[in-house]
Amino acid sequence: MFEWGWQRLYLIGLGWQELILIFLVVLLIFGAKRIPDIAQGIGKGIREFKKALKETEDEVKSEIKNNDSDKKPTNDKHHG
């Protein structure tokens, strides 16, 4: 399971050396005390984005279901 995560990083061209360099740059820019706050904010933003995405998906599915039920043919034999 842990291997799959590293495989994904290699697919985008990041090895462990690059990850360490990125971490050090972030550490220098923001400082050790602010990194947990930043990570928490990013996590909260991702959770809110996923929630909004799910709500939108549910609304679209509901609309499709409603439109499909409106378009069902009837067995009305009185055509005129």
Per residue in 24-77, pLDDT (tens digit) is 998 898 888 888 898 899 999 999 999 999 999 999 999 998 888 777 665 655
Q: What is this structure's pTM?
A: 0.52
Evaluate whether residue 64 is within a structural domain: yes
Domain that holds residue 2: 1-30
pLDDT at 76: 56
Say yes or no: 42 and 57 in one domain: yes
d(CA 40, CA 73): 52
Question: How many domains does one find in the chain?
Answer: 2
pLDDT at 73: 61
Residue pointed to by tokens 């842990």? 2
| Angle at the Cα of 44 from the Cα atoms of 38 and 46, rounded to 5 degrees | 105
